[in-house]
């Protein structure tokens, strides 16, 4: 989950007044991760928690996680996230922290797939690659990694408006840095009640963690009702697979 461009603002950083900044006193920096701390628990044992509907900068794609398409879209997402944030900051508007990168994998969890059976396509699934994939619920084979459909997203304050994205794309285009930034859009996601747990280790060993989460759901009379959701804590480019920390989340509903 390449986090680039990787913008740095030291923790001591506070709004600096600039020549063009608005006269109003800057409010304290908004940190959604802190405000909604209860939604970003990373427990070693699964928990059931409630999440509020939230707004995100989002981009979609198909392909192996960590592959070229995936990395390019992460780059596009961060380009917009930082250009929007820094443009606001420059003009003295409410400052906020860029939240963590998250992803949803839309076609891994058979329980939420469209009910139409995939017939022959399902039979052609490569079981070797399924074994190394991150989610195996035991109730359906997984598609090969290059067919995975995903959505990458970063939580964003409600005040960020669509026209700011348009202006950010234009600014990036002016510098030849547009890439796929025009694919980034605002999206509201409401997952409601979820099961959540910290996974430590390689992405392809998430199945045990998911099984533990599923057991808790069953014990509480709940079942998974939404796509596999990951919130990234570690940087997989540099952190050893065995030490990667990832929050896993599944929306649930009563059985």
Q: Which residues bind other proteins (CB under 8 A)?
A: 3-16, 18, 33, 72, 75-76, 78-79, 82-83, 85-87, 89-91, 97-101, 168, 170-179, 181, 233-235, 237-239, 245
Pick 180 or 204: Cβ nearer other proteins: 180
- At its nearest, how many Å lie between other proteins and the CB of residue 90? 4
- At its nearest, how many Å lie between other proteins and the CB of residue 31? 9
Q: Which two tokens stand for residue 36?
A: 């909604």
Rounded to an integer, what is the distance from CA 201 to the centroid of its chain? 18
- At its nearest, how many Å lie between other proteins and the CB of residue 213? 22
Nearest to residue 216, comparing CAs of 246, 193, 196?
196
- At its nearest, how many Å lie between other proteins and the CB of residue 113? 31
**Cβ contact 184:77 at 8 Å:** yes
Pick 109 or 151: Cβ nearer other proteins: 151
Residue 251's φ and ψ, nearest 5 degrees, are: -65, 145
Radius of gyration (C-alpha) of the chain in whole angstroms: 19
- At its nearest, how many Å lie between other proteins and the CB of residue 183? 13
Beta pairing partners, 59: 152
Pick 112 or 171: Cβ nearer other proteins: 171
Q: Which residue has the tokens 């986090």?
A: 3
Pick 120 or 174: Cβ nearer other proteins: 174
d(CA 219, CA 66): 34
Pick 144 or 236: Cβ nearer other proteins: 236
**Cβ contact 44:129 at 8 Å:** no
């Amino acid at each position: 989950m390449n986090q680039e461009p990787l913008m740095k603002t030291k923790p001591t950083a506070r709004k600096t007044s600039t020549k063009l900044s608005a006269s109003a006193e800057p409010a304290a920096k908004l940190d959604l991760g802190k405000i909604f701390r209860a939604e970003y628990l990373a427990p070693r044992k699964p928990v059931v928690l409630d999440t509020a509907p939230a707004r995100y900068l989002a981009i979609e794609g198909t392909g192996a996680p960590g592959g070229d398409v995936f990395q390019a879209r992460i780059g596009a997402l961060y380009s917009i996230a930082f250009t929007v944030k820094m443009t606001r900051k420059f003009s003295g508007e409410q400052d906020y922290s860029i939240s963590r990168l998250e992803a949803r994998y839309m076609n891994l969890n058979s329980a939420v797939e469209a009910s139409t059976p995939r017939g022959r396509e399902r039979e052609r699934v490569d079981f070797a690659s399924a074994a190394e994939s991150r989610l195996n619920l035991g109730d359906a084979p997984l598609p090969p990694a290059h067919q995975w459909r995903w959505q990458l997203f970063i939580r964003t304050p409600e005040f960020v408006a669509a026209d700011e994205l348009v202006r950010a794309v234009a600014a990036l285009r002016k510098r030849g840095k547009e890439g796929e930034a025009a694919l980034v859009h605002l999206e509201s996601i409401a997952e409601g009640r979820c099961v959540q747990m910290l996974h430590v280790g390689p992405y392809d060993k998430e199945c045990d963690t998911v099984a533990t989460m599923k057991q808790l759901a069953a014990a509480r009379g709940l079942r998974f009702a939404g796509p596999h959701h990951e919130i990234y804590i570690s940087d997989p480019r540099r952190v050893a697979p065995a030490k990667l920390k990832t929050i896993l989340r599944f929306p649930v509903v009563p059985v």
